[in-house]
Structure 1
């Protein structure tokens, strides 16, 4: 039948792979070289044998790889020769194998070809026969029979074939000969044969030289020296001096002590006369554990710890054995009696386990029951107990070595919560023995310590306008007690803050002492308040401690400047002012006065001209708010001018306000002034009285100022005599010693507005200022004083001013000095800020209050 299509498919696939393999792998090449060739020795011309030219070695990247992994050969690219690359030791590679072939793979690229070559390594006679030991020892009894054979050590030769081991020879002697014996595997073993009876008394030692020869050319050999000792015949056994020995041994004997040294002798000589001592074969383990014997001297020594209470005596069988062949031995018995001594220390036993004791337990409270015992008898068994350390405990004896441990003083768990009471038991032996035992006694807590805060009072600084419910502060207290007595709960004692319960302001977490705000605080309404925090433990009865928390509200810039003059409540945001066209440069048109309810930098006020009908005509003082002319008024200037003045504080963020001033320029102001004077001629009784008071005040201040100048002049003369300088030194000036007692008066008559300023207190202190501004156009001469207060509601101030003034021609202002003195402590403003404030004359903070420093026309006086 015709072959199937599948069969032809497999046939074609097989022939395809055959021709592919035939095109890449060629026939094998075999070289044969002796071992131990020098490095660089030529094995064969690889390029010639493979049919390659020298140039093809480079072009086709010929390389040789060893299948064993070790690179013993390399290719000389210049000559195409296969050369030895490393030392080749056939014995190391192939051992005793008769054939040693190294397969190599030659790889050629472009096209890829793979050649397999084999290098046969031939053996050379490079190894001599060697014995395992160069010296060997034989022991032969003198009664050995003639013809007896004794096997000798065989030699080893790593070479193979004819180079391997072939024969043995023995040096000449009378008593011995050499024969060989073939064993399994074809190996030859030399044997020593007795040719003549041995006589130890004639010659006890024979020395022979055994030589092993190989079959190489030249022949190599190895030797081993054989020493033969002729052994004496053993016909005598060892004999002890006594068959029984008796010894008394103290129980306290230490290990290593010599007990006895029995003696034995042997009539034989040599090994037959050498004796070894040992315990008998039936000796119990207790003897081996307790005693030891020297095998050479027979000396018996103590090995373990003796105990009379365990074993009172020992019987030891001692054997003396010689080294003959066969061995001969003799025996004796050593009887050891143990002498009892006081070697047992007393033992302390807790009859009842100690119970915890309250720290307020009275003296005599029983803590534990203790007993003592001793394994010894007589006086050695009598035991007494005592406490070795000073503790608030004592032992109370009861009966037959029984004691009660009781309290003997005051206990304080906070000082010592655990006692390790050391009890010592001592017997009456000679010398006495003692033992110690630690008895742990724990002290239970009593609530006798109140909670203690980390400090008696706390200062908390809180910014105003905070979020209600935020944490203000955390107080912490600790209690020296333990457990429930040390668990602390916090609470706030009820008190009043501005007639309101403090619980309306704050809340405290009873577990951790964290204090939270109940509302958002306003610095202008509340600056500081106190909280009484109580820490109470959970003991019974409970104890508590109080601590004070001082909460200081820190000011934030949350108030814009409020304009006092001109009053916006009466006239809206527009102020009408008049000035003559004949006004020169520097003419005071009006003065804007503003205050800020904040404190510190937040209350420093500055004035700025934001808009103007003619910006070249008017200017506003940055710190005082004075509106003056920059130049003389000309005919071309409009008769109606409008100014928009912006007032800013120094806070963050900046708060500001504006005021509009309308100025009407007239050719002459005589008629209005006459009308005003006419009105002034008809003052009321109240107005006249206030004017009289003002005149008397000015006169008093003038007199005080004159007295002050006289005092300063006298001091200046005295100081100049002593130090040679004038009295300008700060340390000599009473003004700095008593800054709160200064009085300053400032008078300004510049421009149409007349005002006098009375300052009480130093520039750097919290001073009060009373200012009166009087305009010739005013119909009244009222002198209004407004009491300064850090919490003044400036809307109320403006309302009072509006109620007291019929028109805008009169204004009075009263405020505390801000920036340097307005509700600011030394901690709120540093020295650096003071210098800055001084450089600005502090006018920005007081709305122009310290203009006496900036203006030369004003008069100031100080009263010491």
Structure 2
């Protein structure tokens, strides 16, 4: 709607209508209608005919009309319907202005009869007008040094609408320097004011353009705007200003000295010296920053001058100051946040959370022995750590919580194999390249008593000289226990057993602490040659464990027995042994044979013979080893018929033991030799063979008969003796065994008072040893053989080494020698004779029916 009347016309019309309404109200009653402004032409205001009580025909007949005194006909009557309708556009602001109430009076005239009716039409306001400023642009000039809070009044806007549709408020475009406040004027209007909220800086912004908006309260809201242009007046008040208040940069921690960090730039809007800028660190910059960085005061370049370490400082806050050269000096500040980028420069670390606990060797799998944790000072993947154990370790890692693990057993432990484990744990991070570290964790395995004591050997051979001092040490056995502590403390004891029907404790005792075995008395080789001791070693564990070992004690012979002459027997025939020989004897004639035995063994029983004294030393000689007395030359007529020989018999012991025998020889004419020396007969001239053969046949026949009778007697005696004494004669098979070249014989000469005997130990190497005793008594009418019970506890080789311990280089092994077919005599008594010298010789001797002594050819030296 457009205004068509001025402000004064509007006041005049309002006054006229006011007086008219007062006058009309005194004349007649009135009808009132209310309509909004700006209705369309033809809009119905009300049913005027009905309200006035007129019919439709009366409207036409009585000529109903509406008169308006406002000078413009805004309404008319529809004669056909009797309705009051809008005839022209109604602008409330043009009719009533800013009045709160706007009523338009109308006069209705009816003729025939003439009547006048008063009606009122209230025009209601609609928001059809926007607030409006008288000027569209406001120009202000403000110095940049103006104080904060300064107010600058602005032009008010106007709105023709009334009520809620009128002007309500103002708004200012968004800015950081100014705000809008209001001041009430005397005329009731509100005046907007511009308030300075932030200091102005012409160098930053010399011109500010704002928009002021006036808003009404209608629905919808309408508004009007006005542009405000502010010119900032300059002062010399500029500080150096950095392009940013805070800079963020990053740098790898392995950056080298001199690395460029950032270039800082500060500008000063002033000119001349006031605009020249120099850079420096802030006054409160810490020493760590000053030692790590430097800044070019002219260019503002920040340079690295010291090492970086992410693990020490992950970031730096560096305050930079830019100062101009004006007076007074002005400065500006900024901050540089430098973040250090981590690189994988720290190896992971394994930390023992708890001291490793000892693990029992019988600990079940899953036993916790240590708590460990892993850490890496790096970050991200560089700080992710994985742990790994050595493959052959009986332990494993069990995760508990973040980077914490339990070291637990994963297999059986054996302290005797490994008393301590150095568990190697490798920690590796996930960096590129990955770094790793290792840590050895000692785990001690504690002992349980699961190992019995073990002797250094299952059996011991102890060689003890006879006649030793009682209480002397025999041997020290030693046992070890793989366990530890009390479980490995060993005590020794001797298990009860019998030696010759006497408890072994009567012979020896043992030190329970060190295993030393002592004799209770001296031993006699001739009575006891070997016995066994069962030693037990027991630990002090719980329960205790034990093991046994056998100690074989072999009594070694000492030279405590002198040789005993068994032939010729001086005890039976007096102090002299009388022998006869023919004067016709030639050189080498066997006069007699001295036979002696020694109860000792080994070297102590090696016997040698020597002619100590003789009536004629040139006539006789004694074989050093066999004791054979032979003529050195042929007997002459001048030789005495009675010869006396003193023969000394010595053993090879230390000290030497000896005996002597005196042999008296009577030489007779015409005495025939009862037994011929085979070796001599073989070399005699063949012209005497016939007569000698006859003698041999006769002798062989007689001796054979005697031998058969002798063996029959021996067989009967052996059968009887075996039933009573357990001894037996040597059987035919035994003789066959002797003849077997694969049979090994060990011969030992012994004495038991006047009875002399030879022990023969023999047997195949793969079979059990056999022991035989050949008992001989030169004064008895027969010889017997006693079979000794085979040894079942002593190895044959050990027996050999024991019985001849003093002869380590000797071999008591004989292969049977076949008796020469030329040997004329079947022996009645048999014996072995061994002699000592540069070599050891043993020979099989025989004693004939009349006491004649012969020797078979000696075997190879022992």
TM-score by length of 1: 0.46
In our comparison, the structure showing a higher alpha carbon Rg is 2
* TM-score (normalised: structure 2): 0.46
